[in-house]
Amino acid sequence: MRIRWVRNFFDTINTQDGRQHFTGVRLMRLTKPCTNPKHLAHIVCVDAMHFINRTDDGFCDYELQAGDIVVMRRHELEMDYRYRQVLPVLVFTHEGKVWEYKRTEKGGEKGLHNQIAVAVGGHFDLADLVFEKSVIDAEASVAKAVAREIDEEVTLNGAAVVNTRRLDKVVAADVTGVDAKHIAMVTIVELDKPLVESNEEELETMGFLTPRELLDGDYHLETWAEIICKLLDK
> What domains are defined for the chain?
40-232 (3.90.79.10)
H helix intervals, 35-185: 37-40, 74-77, 138-153
Q: Is the confidence at residue 52, as pLDDT, over 70?
A: yes
Residue type, position 164, single letter: T
What's the burial of 44, exposed, middle or buried (CB within 10 Å: 0-12/13-18/19+)? buried
H helix intervals, the chain: 37-40, 74-77, 138-153, 211-216, 223-232
Q: What is the band of 105 on the pLDDT scale with cuts at 50, 70, 90? A: low
User: How many Å apart are CA 214 and CA 232, to the nearest integer?
Assistant: 11
Please, which residues have CB within 8 angstroms of residue 118's CB and are 6 or more apart in sequence? 91, 98, 99, 100, 101, 214, 224, 225, 228, 229
Q: What is the band of 108 on the pLDDT scale with cuts at 50, 70, 90? A: low
Please, which residues have CB within 8 angstroms of residue 18's CB and are 6 or more apart in sequence? none
User: How many Å apart are CA 184 and CA 171, to the nearest integer?
Assistant: 5
Question: Average pLDDT for residues 38-54, to the nearest whole number?
Answer: 90
User: How many Å apart are CA 208 and CA 64, to the nearest integer?
Assistant: 30
Length of the chain: 234
* Under 8 Å between Cβ of 39 and 74: yes
Q: What is the band of 124 on the pLDDT scale with cuts at 50, 70, 90? A: very high
Question: Average pLDDT for residues 111-127, to the nearest whole number?
Answer: 88
- Furthest-apart CA pair in the chain: how many Å? 59
More confident call, 96 vs 12: 96
Q: What pTM was estimated for this model as a whole?
A: 0.81
101: left (phi over 0), alpha (psi -120 to 50) or beta: beta
Q: Please tell me the predicted confidence (pLDDT) of residue 56.
A: 74
Using only the alpha carbons of the chain, give its radius of gyration: 18
* Under 8 Å between Cβ of 224 and 111: no
Dihedral sign from CA coordinates of 26, 77, 200, 221: positive
